[in-house]
Structures are given as structure tokens and as C-alpha cells.
Amino acid sequence: MEEEYIKLIFGLKLKQKRTEKNLSLFGLSKLSGLSKSYLNEIEKGKKYPKPDKIAILSEKLDVPYDQMVSLKLDKNLAPIGDVLQSKILKEIPLELFGIKESNLIDIISNAPAKVNAFISTIIEIAQNYNFSRESFYLASVRSFQEANNNYFEDIEQSVIKFSKAYQVDLTKPISSKELEDILVEEYGYTLNETELNKHHALDNLRSVFVPKTKTLLLASNIDDAQKAFIFAKEIAYNYLEFKERLYTFSWIKFENFDQVLNNFYASYFAGALLLPRAIITEKLNQLFSKKAFDEKFFLDIINSFNASPESFYQRLTNILPKDFNIQNLFFLRFTHRSGTERFHLKKELHLSHQHSPHANETNEHYCRRWISLKVLKDISKSNKEHIFDMQISNYPDDNIDYLVLSSATRDPFREEHFRSISVGLLIDKQLKRKLRFLESPKIKSSQVGVTCERCAISNCEVRQAPAIRLENKAKNKQIESIVDELKNKFG
């Protein structure tokens, strides 16, 4: 363990033993002959006493010396010790969230019992939901994205500098060959498009990077857009000089938080390179100025780049908040297997309102009226590669409306599997001013819920389960009402 954590653990133990003896800092100072300020520094984890001072404290508190210096905490403080020994405070760059590690340590040392209860609660929740360390890291990155409206100017500028340095024309679609040449000539990469196919267990991986020989192994069944994205990410790792990185795409596991964060930055760089902000902003301005939504024009925008629809939708979550001040938006990515009624939420981002709960984790059924799920059903019954649809989703319980744009595509790696990506924009006065076509009666509207178990919409033709959450809530309110009446009657 690092020295500062050893200090903190000793301070926690000293404070615990002192309070058990009902001693104030002043009292312990008088008893031990050590100054009150010195003892206070020890309890806050800022100083570690010399052996002779520990011996004095051990004698006056009637605690064995070995027990005082042991790193093992009593049961009631054990979760705090687990967190400190896990070094999780070091693995997560707290400064990203404006938190100083010293301040966090002060909070722990000043109220260890309350912090312990909080940490124990978080651990129990994580265990109940099988919340892994990777899940925690990913949730931290999402929070970081949301705190910055998912826009990072330094990465945007890095892309512009890169394009000038390597003479990449951002006004034209960028081919994978152009990026491949940079990887090979500038960074000494060797490409191999046959090895991955020899290993059936790796059939879901698109690429593997071998750092020792700078060899990039590629799946043979990826298209040029996917290949361009992989090459752009590899360029990002090198150009931005990231040492901590992931070596597979898609990821298998994370060793530390820097790998997670750098993976996000590299993906952001790739999206900004393949989908230049200036061009998209110009084309969106044209789309938004139309009196009726032009679906063909919107799809032409997507198809004008060498990028997947998913990359385009994710890029919208960078550009809409920055260039159009549309910050009340969400992004959802679902997967679905044909012939089943299960829909899995694999990725989400909420820049303002929390749009929905993780129904997969609560074993609930997402609302089948969502356009995100409808396009998945539609494409599973067709031979098309890409299906687009949109609707205004009205949430009657919250009295809010979203304009939701959604695209479904086939999963190139798994037969009979599909995925949808959606961006939802909160409809308010500001959005109505920016999107002229919102007033068009041609845009269909639908009342929706969050999950069937929480939905109050009656006679729903696509309901998958009764509204048991609402029924339980109503029953509890009824019980509360009767109890109140009895209290008034007999009180």
C-alpha cells in the first residue's frame, strides 16, 4: 500500500480507539503528553508517528502495539480498508470530476462510520446487480461525458492539426487505405487480415493489436467503414501518445481506468476524423431549416461519410450540444435477435434527463412503442441493410415529448442479430425554434412508457407484462391512507 494510505488507516484506528475510550483529542493529548495538533494530524492521515510515539499511544489506550500498527481494520471499518487497499482512488483520475484526493481522504477520516455505511451500501448494490469493476469504469466515463456535454475541444483541435500535418482532406470521405498508409509508413504497423479467421473463439473481435511487433490483426469480414474506424483509433493512440490502451476491439477487459478513458478519447478522435464537425453542422443547418423532415436528405448525410450509422449518431451527440445548444438529448443502442422478444440496451448516454432505467437489470420489459424497438422488428423481417424511422414519443406520466430518430442495421458478425441506434431530443421552445419541421403534421406521435411494469397506458396492444410496479405503488398508497385514517380515528 502507498504511504499515505498507511497513514490514513493508522489515523482511522487511532480515532476509533480514542472515541471508544470516550476521550477527546484534548483528553488524549493530556494523557499521552503528545500535542493536540499533532494527534489531529495523525487522525486525519497526514502524519505517521514514530515507534516511540506509537508505544505511548498503545499504552495509554490499552491496545497492543501490534494491533495499533496492523493494517487490518475492525469489522465496522473493514469496507473502508478494502477500498483503500484496492487502490481504486488511484485508478480513477478524480481530478476529471474536480475532486481532490486529499479532500476525499479528509471526508473519510472526519466521518468514518457514515462513510463506511455509504461504502457498504454501494458494495452491496454492486454485488446485487453483478456490477463489475469494468462497469464502474464505464459508468465513470459516461458521467464524465455528460458533465462535459460530450464535447471535447482539445480532441477536436487535435484532429484538425493531424489532418493538416498529414494532408488528410476533411471535406471528402476518408478511405481506410489512406489511413492504412499513415499507420504503415509513419508508425511502422504491419497488417494481417488472415490470422483472426483461424481462431473461432475470436469471431466477435474486429481487431487485435500486438504491441511487440506492431502487428494489427483484422477480421476479414469487416467493411471499409469499420476498417477506417479501427485505423483511425490506432492513429489516435499513436498521435495522442497514449501509453495505456486497449489491444482488442471490441474490448475484452480493462486493466485500469486510464485504458477506459483513453479508449474513449481514441474513439472520439476517430469519430471526429471520419465525421468532420464543420461539414455535419452545415448539413444539419440545411436539414433543420426545412418545413418538412426530409428523410432522403438525412440518409444522404449519413451515407456521405465513410462511417457506420452508429458512428454518425454518436457524432450527433458531440455536435448538437456544441453547435446547436441542444443539450437535452439521449443516445441509446439496442441489440435484438430475430424471433425473440428480448431487447438488450448495450449503450446509453443522457446529457440531461435520465430517460429510462436499466430494465435488463431489473428484469423488466422496455416499452414496445419505442421507435428504437420498432425498427429492430422491422429490419428482422426484411432483407434491408438499414432501416430508418422517427417519431415523437410522448411520456404522459412526465408530460414531456422527445423527437426520436432511429436506425437499425444488421450485425455483421452474428446471423439473425440486429442493432438499433437512436438519438432523442427533448421537445421544448428552443428545439421548436431550431427545427422548423417539428410543426409538420406528417411526423407521427405515440404515447410511450418506460417499461411495461411501470406503464399506466391502458389497452396497450403491445404490452408484454402487467403494470405490477404501478399496482404495488397504488397498493402501498392505499395502505398509507388507511393507516392515516386509523391514526386520526383513534388518536
Q: What is the pLDDT of residues 18-65, one digit of tens each?
A: 988 899 999 999 999 999 999 999 988 889 999 999 999 999 999 899
pLDDT of residue 112: 62
Task: Quote the percentage of the chain above a pLDDT of 70.
Answer: 85
- pLDDT-derived band at 202 (thresholds 50, 70, 90) equals confident
pLDDT of residue 458: 82
User: What type of residue sits at position 458?
Assistant: S
Q: What is the rounded distance in angstroms from the CA atom of residue 275 to the CA atom of residue 305? A: 7
Q: Please tell me the pTM assigned to this model.
A: 0.79
Q: What is the rounded distance in angstroms from the CA atom of residue 421 to the CA atom of residue 320? A: 16
Q: What is the mean pLDDT of residues 281-299?
A: 96
Residue 282 clears pLDDT 80, i.e. is over it: yes
pLDDT of residue 267: 96
Residue 103 clears pLDDT 80, i.e. is over it: no
End-to-end Cα spacing for the chain: 59
Least confident stretch, 72-76, 198-202, 216-220: 72-76
pLDDT of residue 177: 97
Residue 424 CA, distance from chain mean position: 17
Least confident stretch, 72-76, 203-207, 228-232, 291-295: 72-76
Is the pLDDT higher at 412 or at 149? 149
What lies within 8 Å, CB to CB, of 451 at 6+ separation is 356, 357, 359, 362, 364, 365, 366, 367, 469
Contact 329, 426 (CB under 8 A): yes
Q: What is the rounded distance in angstroms from the CA atom of residue 468 to the CA atom of residue 160? A: 53
Contact 458, 447 (CB under 8 A): no
pLDDT digits (tens, 9 = 90+) for 351-372: 876 665 555 556 788 899 999 9
pLDDT digits (tens, 9 = 90+) for 117-162: 666 666 666 666 556 667 777 888 888 888 889 999 999 999 999 9
- pLDDT-derived band at 197 (thresholds 50, 70, 90) equals confident
pLDDT digits (tens, 9 = 90+) for 210-220: 999 999 999 98
Task: Quote the percentage of the chain above a pLDDT of 90.
Answer: 54
Residue 228 clears pLDDT 60, i.e. is over it: yes
Residue 241 clears pLDDT 80, i.e. is over it: yes
pLDDT digits (tens, 9 = 90+) for 300-309: 999 999 999 9
What lies within 8 Å, CB to CB, of 73 at 6+ separation is 9, 12, 13, 80, 81
Q: What is the SS3 assignment for 111?
A: coil
Average pLDDT, the chain: 87
pLDDT digits (tens, 9 = 90+) for 311-351: 999 999 999 999 999 999 999 999 999 988 889 888 888 88
Please say whether the dihedral angle defined by the alpha carbons of residues 379, 361, 248 and 308, taken in this order, is positive or negative.
Answer: positive
Residue 11 clears pLDDT 90, i.e. is over it: no
DSSP state of 484: H
Q: What is the mean pLDDT of residues 397-420?
A: 91
373 burial level (CB within 10 Å; 0-12, 13-18, 19+) = buried
pLDDT of residue 15: 87
